[in-house]
Amino acid sequence: MKRKVLGVLLSVAMVATLVAGCGSSSSSTTSTDTAADTEETTTDDAAAADTADESADTAAAGGKIGISMPTQSLERWNRDGAYLDEQFQAAGYETVLTYSDNDSARQVNDIQNMLADGVDLLIVAAIDGEALNTAMNEAADAGVPVIAYDRLILNDAVSYYVSFDNYSVGTLQGQFIVDTLDLENAGDKVYNMEITAGDPADNNAPYFYQGAMDVLQPYIDAGTLNVVSGQTDFDTVATAQWSTDTALERAQNILSSYYADGTQLDVWLCSNDSTALGVSQAVTSDYAGSNTVLITGQDGDEANLKNIVDGIQTMTVYKNVSNESVVTLGLAQAILNGDTIDESLIPSFGIECSYDVESYETSEGNPCPSFLLVPNVITKDNLQDLVDTGLYTMGEDGYLSAVQ
């Protein structure tokens, strides 16, 4: 049932992708400077090894890993890229890290360059799960294993998938809404809600949406939740490239069309923090009501954590991406060592996760073995949990900053 619904959503997303086309290819630059707002390729040969000999030894000991990230314009991928790069280098691997500026054609090109460079294994967070076939087929021809990182790639060249339980990210958001508004005991009260989902090209986006909707739909059917705009289906509420500006613009349109008459807005389900940021801006500037609107999110981006402290956003579903890269490293080592890959590896990761061979398929009938980590709800009441990870600090002003 769950898979069938997602299958329908994905085929709609596929059509949208084909219609939109891939845009023109642009080549990546090579640099040793990662801290730029332009998207770059970093060739960081084992911490820029001092001598050629040392570099050769490192490569021989561990091998070369290609790490292809989607964009630096969405906060989390900067963290993912940095953690993967650091952790693989610390384990003795040579790394090539690229960001592809949310441009699928460029990501294909970046991966092709990695293959030409002789990488032994690829880690890819896809911009578009359906648009990497050329590069994936070349990886298969070259015998290079591929780990789909965070976002599944719909190509059978993918060997394994490491992510969080994406469906449960959505159920956590939905259940948070149910519990916070006490919808079970709402009686005749009606709460007004709007919905903003993620990028249709991202295989994760329908999972987040569906997880939340499976929890909320009974309350919509019962009339306890009322989507005033009537915009509920995934295609209508989706946000291309998870863009904050696109989410902002759509939220402003909804507020002016359906809420300018004083209608109260109670909840805005947002699939992640970049979209929640746009919705929060719209609610702050364009919503006429004086009540606090419950706004959900995902990731723990700095601006959103500030909004949580300030009462502008209500919660975020936090995914510890440092742990995600630890699991990816452990899996990559096992693949390169020729070890058996199954749930028996999990204790060696030291990270809570499940081994799942049913939930994700790279093509119909081809399940992709997956290691899925566990997401957590963060509100203003448990921000200390983030500080306790060692990945955030809390300033004297009470706001959190990610440790760089």
Shortest separation between residue 205's beta carbon and ligand BGC, angstroms: 7
8 A C-beta contact, residue 389 and residue 403:
no
Shortest separation between residue 47's beta carbon and ligand BGC, angstroms: 27
| Closest-approach residue to ligand BGC (CB) | 272
Shortest separation between residue 74's beta carbon and ligand BGC, angstroms: 4
Report helix, strand or coil for 178: helix
Residue 170 or 330 having the CB closest to ligand BGC:
170
Which residue, 91, 85, 89, is CA-closest to 35?
A: 85
Shortest separation between residue 202's beta carbon and ligand BGC, angstroms: 5
Residue 139 or 317 having the CB closest to ligand BGC:
317
8 A C-beta contact, residue 238 and residue 200:
yes
**Contacting residues for 373 by C-beta, under 8 A, at least 6 apart:** 162, 163, 164, 165, 319, 320, 323, 324, 327, 351, 352, 353
Residue 74 or 154 having the CB closest to ligand BGC:
74
Residue 153 or 255 having the CB closest to ligand BGC:
153
User: Which stretches of the chain bind ligand BGC, using CB under 6 A?
Assistant: 74, 76, 150-151, 202, 204, 242, 272, 274, 298-299, 319
Which residue, 74, 272, 307, is CA-closest to 173?
A: 272
From residue 126, alpha-carbon distances to 103, 132, 276, 332 in Å are 10, 8, 22, 18
Shortest separation between residue 363's beta carbon and ligand BGC, angstroms: 20
Residue 255 or 377 having the CB closest to ligand BGC:
377
Distance between CA atoms of residues 63 and 350, nearest Å? 23
The residue type of 5 is: V
Shortest separation between residue 320's beta carbon and ligand BGC, angstroms: 11
Report helix, strand or coil for 364: coil
Residue 64 or 319 having the CB closest to ligand BGC:
319
